[in-house]
Amino acid sequence: MVSENTTKGANKTAIIIGVLFGTVGLVLALTLSLYVYYKRRVLEPKYLSQDQWRLVLQEHLPQEFSDRELAKATNNISEKNRLGSGGFGEVFQGTIIPSGVSVAVKRICNESKQGIKEFVSELTTIERPRHRNLVPLLGWNQDKGLLLVYELMPHGSLDQMLFDHPEQLSWDQRLNIISGVAAALLYLHEECEQKIIHRDVKASNVMLDAQMNSRLGDFGLAKLYGHNVNPSATNVAGTWSYMAPESFFTCKATEQTDIFSFRVLILEVVTGRRVGTILEENCSMLEWCRNLQRNNRLEDAIDPLLAKEGQRTNDMIITVLQLGILSSFPDPKVRPLIRRIVQTLDGEASLPTMPSMTSSSSLFSAVASSSFSYTDNTSSLFNSDTKSVSLAIEAFAGLNGAR
Model confidence at 332: pLDDT above 60: yes
Is residue 27 assigned to a domain? no
Taking the C-alpha atoms of residue 183 and residue 400, their distance in angstroms, rounded to an integer, is: 29
Query: What H or E segment, with its residue span, contains residue 105?
Result: strand 101-108
The pLDDT value given to residue 216: 94
Regarding whether 352 and 272 lie in a shared domain, the answer is yes
Is residue 350 assigned to a domain? yes
In 111-254, alpha helices (H): 113-125, 158-164, 171-186, 247-250
Which residues belong to the annotated binding site for ATP?
A: 106
The pLDDT value given to residue 362: 44
Regarding predicted confidence, which is higher, 59 or 141? 141
Regarding whether 236 and 291 lie in a shared domain, the answer is yes
Regarding whether 178 and 137 lie in a shared domain, the answer is no
Average pLDDT of the chain is 75
Is residue 327 assigned to a domain? yes
Taking the C-alpha atoms of residue 108 and residue 148, their distance in angstroms, rounded to an integer, is: 8
Q: What is the DSSP letter of 207?
A: E
Which residues belong to the annotated binding site?
A: 106
Share of the chain above pLDDT 70, in %: 65
Omega of the bond leading into 98 within 30 degrees of 0 (cis): yes
Q: In Å, how far are 121, 122, 363 from 60, measured between CA atoms?
A: 12, 11, 44
Model confidence at 290: pLDDT above 70: yes
Regarding whether 296 and 392 lie in a shared domain, the answer is yes
Regarding predicted confidence, which is higher, 392 or 312? 312
Overall size of the chain counted in residues: 403
The pLDDT value given to residue 373: 35
Is residue 29 assigned to a domain? no
Average pLDDT over residues 147-170: 92
Average pLDDT over residues 288-313: 85
Q: Which of 130, 151, 172 is the last residue of a domain?
A: 151
The pLDDT value given to residue 7: 61
Report the amino acid identity of residue 26.
L
- Interval 357-366: pLDDT, tens: 543 334 444 5
Is residue 8 assigned to a domain? no
Regarding predicted confidence, which is higher, 92 or 145? 92
Parallel, antiparallel or unpaired: strands 89-96 and 214-216: unpaired
Regarding whether 224 and 342 lie in a shared domain, the answer is yes
Is residue 25 assigned to a domain? no
The pLDDT value given to residue 354: 72
Domain of 90 in residue numbering reads as 50-151
Average pLDDT over residues 196-224: 89
Model confidence at 280: pLDDT above 50: yes
Model confidence at 321: pLDDT above 90: yes
- Interval 12-71: pLDDT, tens: 676 777 667 667 677 777 777 666 655 554 444 444 455 555 554 555 567 788 888 998
Regarding predicted confidence, which is higher, 61 or 324? 324
CATH number at residue 371: 1.10.510.10
Regarding predicted confidence, which is higher, 304 or 99? 304
Question: Which one is catalytic: 51, 67, 172, 200?
Answer: 200
Regarding whether 246 and 106 lie in a shared domain, the answer is no
Regarding whether 206 and 121 lie in a shared domain, the answer is no
Regarding whether 321 and 194 lie in a shared domain, the answer is yes
CATH number at residue 90: 3.30.200.20
Share of the chain above pLDDT 90, in %: 26
Q: How many domains does the chain have?
A: 2
Is residue 286 assigned to a domain? yes
Regarding predicted confidence, which is higher, 122 or 139? 139
Is residue 20 assigned to a domain? no
Regarding whether 194 and 329 lie in a shared domain, the answer is yes
Taking the C-alpha atoms of residue 290 and residue 296, their distance in angstroms, rounded to an integer, is: 10
Q: What is the DSSP letter of 109?
A: -
Average pLDDT over residues 69-83: 88
The reply to whether 200 belongs to the active site is yes
pTM, 2 dp: 0.72
